[in-house]
C-alpha cells in the first residue's frame, strides 16, 4: 500500500481536505483512480468485493471444467474450453484490479485456500449432468451479467474497466448455454428431462446469487453511497427473473416456483422467496461441494509451486547472465 502518512498534527485537516476532494469526485460521478486518496473503508470494501469476485471466477472454472473431457462433441468441447479459459481470465483481470488497491495477489490466493475469503455460493453446487453446463451458462452467467453490467459504472476506475472487459465476454457464455439447451430440447425425451432437472436444481441457487434481501444486506447503503454498487440485491434479482421468464417459455421448461406470476400493476413478475437458510448454510461452508472446491484450488496452487519457482530461477539466471555479459563487454 502506498498511503503516505502525514505528520499527526497535520493529518486531521489534511484528511478532511482529501475527503472533500474524494466526495466531490464521487458526487460528480467521476472515477476514483488508484493513486487518489480514498477513505480506508472504501479501499477495504473494494478489496473485499473485488477479491471475492475474482475468487468466484477462479473457483467457477471447476463445476463446468469437469465436463471438458466428457463434452459430447468436439464443438462443445472447444466452446467449453474457451469458456473456462475466459473464467480464468476474468479472475486475473479482477486480481489485477485488486492489486491497484494495495492488495497482493499471492496473499489473496492464500486467503482463498485457507477459507478466509469467500466466493460466490453458486459454485458449491455439483454438475452431475451435461445439461448443467447449459443451465450454468443461461442462469449463472445471466445472473452475473445482471450483476456486472451496472458495475461497469462503478466508481472505482480499474474495477469498472475490468467489468467492461468481463461483460463483453460474458455474453458469449450466456448464449452458448442457452443454445446448448435449445439443442437438447430438440433431442430425446430423456434429454428434455435432463434440462428440466438441471433447471429445477439451479433456479433457486441462481436467485440467491444476488445476495440476501435488501433488509438484511448491511453493506448495501454504504456501497451505494460510494457508488461501488448501483442497484440493490432485490432490484437485480427482480431484473433477472423478468429477463429469464420469457426465455424459459421459449425454451419450453418450467421454472420451479408455483408463486411465479406476472403482476400487471407492478409491471414485474412476482416470485417466491428463496430459502435464505440454505444460502447462509452454503456461505458458511456447508454446501454440497465447498470442501471439494477449495481443496482442488489448494492442490492446484501447491502442485504448481515448483513451476513458479523454476520460472523465477530461470528468470534470475537469465538476468544474471545478461549482467555479466554487459560487464565483460
198 Cβ contact list (under 8 Å, min separation 6): 129, 131, 132, 134, 135
Quick check: 319 binds another protein (CB under 8 A)? yes
In Å, how far are 40, 298, 309, 317 from 312, measured between CA atoms?
A: 34, 21, 5, 9
User: Euclidean distance between the first and final Cα of the chain, in Å?
Assistant: 40
Q: Taking the complex as a whole, how short is the minimal distance between the CB of residue 104 and another protein, in angstroms?
A: 8
Q: Three-state SS for 270?
A: strand
Whether the Cβ atoms of residue 83 and residue 17 lie closer than 8 Å to each other: no
Site string for another protein, 167-206 (x = CB under 8 A): --x-------------------------------------
The nearest distance, CB 5 to another protein, in angstroms, is 10
Q: Looking only at residues 82 through 141 of this chain, which bind another protein when binding is defined by CB under 8 A?
A: 82, 85-86, 89, 92-93, 96-97, 99-102, 104-106
Q: Give yes or no for residue 164 binding another protein (CB under 8 A).
A: no
Q: Which is nearer to another protein, 12 or 309 (CB)?
A: 309
Closer residue to another protein (CB): 50 or 199: 50
Residues 32 to 61 in contact with another protein, rule: CB under 8 A: 33-37
Q: Which residues contact 275 (CB under 8 A, 6 or more apart)?
A: 204
> Helix or strand or coil: residue 186?
coil
Contact mark string toward another protein, 256..295, x via CB under 8 A: ----------------------------------------
Give min distance, CB of 268 to another protein, in A.
35
Task: Give dist(CA 63, CA 15) in Å, integer.
Answer: 46
3-class state of residue 253 by DSSP: coil
Q: Which residues bind another protein (CB under 8 A)?
A: 1-2, 4, 33-37, 82, 85-86, 89, 92-93, 96-97, 99-102, 104-106, 157-158, 161-162, 165, 169, 305, 308-309, 311-312, 314-316, 318-319
Amino acid at each position: 500500500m502506498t498511503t503516505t502518512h502525514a505528520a499527526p498534527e497535520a493529518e486531521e485537516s489534511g484528511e478532511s481536505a482529501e475527503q472533500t476532494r474524494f466526495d466531490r469526485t464521487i458526487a460528480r460521478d467521476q472515477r476514483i483512480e488508484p493513486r487518489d486518496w480514498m477513505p480506508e473503508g472504501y479501499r477495504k470494501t473494494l478489496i473485499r468485493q473485488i477479491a471475492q469476485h475474482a475468487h468466484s471466477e477462479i473457483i467457477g472454472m471447476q463445476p463446468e471444467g469437469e465436463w471438458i473431457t466428457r463434452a459430447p462433441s468436439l464443438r462443445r468441447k472447444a466452446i467449453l474450453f474457451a469458456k473456462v479459459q475466459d473464467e480464468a481470465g476474468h479472475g486475473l483481470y479482477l486480481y489485477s484490479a485488486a492489486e491497484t488497491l494495495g492488495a497482493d495477489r499471492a496473499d489473496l490466493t492464500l486467503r482463498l485456500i485457507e477459507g478466509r475469503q469467500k466466493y460466490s455460493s453458486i459454485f458449491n453446487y455439483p454438475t452431475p449432468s451435461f445439461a448443467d453446463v447449459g443451465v450454468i451458462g443461461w442462469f449463472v452467467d445471466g445472473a452475473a451479467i445482471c450483476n456486472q453490467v451496472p458495475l461497469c459504472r462503478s466508481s472505482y476506475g480499474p474495477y469498472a474497466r475490468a467489468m467492461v472487459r468481463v461483460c463483453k465476454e460474458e455474453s458469449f457464455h450466456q448464449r452458448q448455454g442457452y443454445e446448448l439447451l435449445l439443442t437438447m430440447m430438440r433431442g430425446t425425451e430423456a434429454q428434455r428431462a435432463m434440462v428440466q432437472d438441471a433447471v429445477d436444481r439451479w433456479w433457486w441457487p441462481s436467485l440467491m446469487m444476488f445476495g440476501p434481501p435488501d433488509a438484511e444486506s448491511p453493506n448495501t447503503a454504504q456501497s451505494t453511497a460510494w457508488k461501488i454498487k448501483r442497484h440493490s440485491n432485490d432490484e437485480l434479482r427482480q431484473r433477472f427473473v423478468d429477463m429469464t421468464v420469457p426465455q424459459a417459455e421459449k425454451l419450453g421448461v418450467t421454472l420451479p416456483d408455483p408463486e411465479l406470476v406476472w403482476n400487471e400493476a407492478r409491471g414485474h413478475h412476482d416470485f417466491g422467496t428463496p430459502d435464505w437458510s440454505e444460502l447462509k448454510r452454503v456461505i458458511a461452508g456447508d454446501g454440497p461441494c465447498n470442501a471439494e472446491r477449495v481443496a482442488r484450488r489448494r492442490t492446484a496452487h501447491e502442485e504448481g509451486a515448483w513451476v513458479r519457482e523454476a520460472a523465477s530461477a530461470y528468470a534470475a539466471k537469465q538476468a544474471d547472465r545478461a549482467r555479466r555479459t554487459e560487464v565483460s563487454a
